Amino acid sequence: MYRGRERATRARSRAVCHCYRGDVFRSLSLYPTSADPAQVEELVERTAAAFKQSPGFRSATTSVDALMGPGARDGEVGRVVVVDFDTLDDALSALKAETFQETRTATEVLGATLFLFECREV
């Protein structure tokens, strides 16, 4: 039973951490299903536009349509946004940039769950 759980955890890690050669720092935002989809869309666009201008930016992706899999069964998360940066300093600079603070506040008010973590290929 433990091995099955360990394999499932590794599989989730691979799904969440589609990394590049070398390490990358990832911002992961989970928007609640209860949030207004039009407002979420606007915030996702504003976030991507702000981060694309940041040094060390690598990519920004978002989920499309309904989320699937065991983690989606409870229906709490409606949208996932992933943004990758070269270094921790790049990620923190982008997240702390004055031009991003209004978007960040609006995202938090919507009830999004935000993560920042280092990611590496295994």
**pLDDT digit string, tens, across residues 87-118:** 999 999 999 999 999 999 999 999 999 999 99
The pLDDT, as a whole number, for residue 35 is: 94
Q: pTM for this one? A: 0.79
* Dist CA 98 CA 94 (whole Å): 9
pLDDT score at 60: 97
pLDDT digits (tens, 9 = 90+) for 30-41: 999 999 999 999
The residue extents of the domains of the chain are: 2-119
Q: Does the domain spanning 2-119 belong to CATH 3.10.310.40?
A: no
* pLDDT at res. 12: 43
Altogether, the residues listed in the chain come to a count of 122
Q: What pLDDT sits at residue 111?
A: 95
Which helix (H) or strand (E) element contains residue 116? strand 113-119
Mean pLDDT for the stretch of residues 13-36? 75
